[in-house]
Amino acid sequence: MRRLFRRHQVEPEAAGEAAARAAVTVAPVERDLQAAAFFDVDNTMMRGASIYHFARGLATRGMFTTSDLLKFAVGQAVFRLRGNENPEHIAVARETALAFVAGAKVDDVVRLGEEIYDEVMADRIWGGTRALAQSHLDTGQRVWLVTATPVELARVIAQRLGLTGALGTVAETSDGVYTGRLVGDLLHGPAKAEAVRALARREGLDLTRCTAYSDSANDLPMLSLVGQAVAINPDSELREHARKHDWPIKDFRTGRKATLTALPIAAGVGAVAGGVAAGIALRRHYRGQS
């Protein structure tokens, strides 16, 4: 009897793999290859601006001063209160950020992004929005983040949340180092819709069966592109548009938290301003190493 037991004994790894295969085949989720969900990040999936939180994480590492960060935060708040985004201001801020980030290593940005997500961003994910994303995954649909945030940071967020992937602003690189130029432009406004349209062509998606989520009227081109649009924590303009077109509205903000959340981000401007802060930090870091 003892000899028979030994003969049929298996290694834990093999047993684990066998159990996992069995669990998958018990009640598989059928993949829906033609439908997907697209989520904006800042103030939709996450409280505040992801790039701003990234800059904060760099500040705690002593890579630039908190007064620098405060200047960018105030600038973002001013843009938010004005309710507009001056294209000239965006262009200047974008070029400044790119100039500062030139020479930074992509691997370093990804590594810092992973660290800072775990330290700063994870607790700022809206539970309600995360549940919506999971509901799409549970039905076999793919879920993509669509954001003006640099694509490297957007991918980190998507990976940490267990999502399919991310569409973000693409900075040009050469041999794993940022050149200081963009590939195209900021993924903001109409550019988001174009990115979703291009992804749909590549992945064979039927956009009439897709869903998009955002907090900002700046994302109306993307929201209007799909079969179902949902306003999450919407600004006043998007809320009015959603009501007019019978789009679902979900607001996960409450009381004082809602007021505080509105300040750190002004859509494209907020992402660029945070990018400037992050760029300054990385530039100073690399100068200190040379």
Catalytic site residues? 40, 42
Determine the Cα–Cα distance for residues 100 and 279; give it in Å rounded to an integer: 5
- The string of DSSP letters for 218-245 reads GGHHHHTTSSEEEEES--HHHHHHHHHT
Strand partners, 203: none
Cα-Cα-Cα-Cα dihedral sign, residues 137, 140, 145, 151: positive
Evaluate whether 231 touches 247 at the Cβ level (below 8 Å).
Answer: yes
Q: How far is CA 46 from CA 17, 77, 99, 233, in A?
A: 35, 17, 27, 11
Evaluate whether 209 touches 35 at the Cβ level (below 8 Å).
Answer: yes
The amino acid occupying position 56 is R
The amino acid occupying position 94 is R
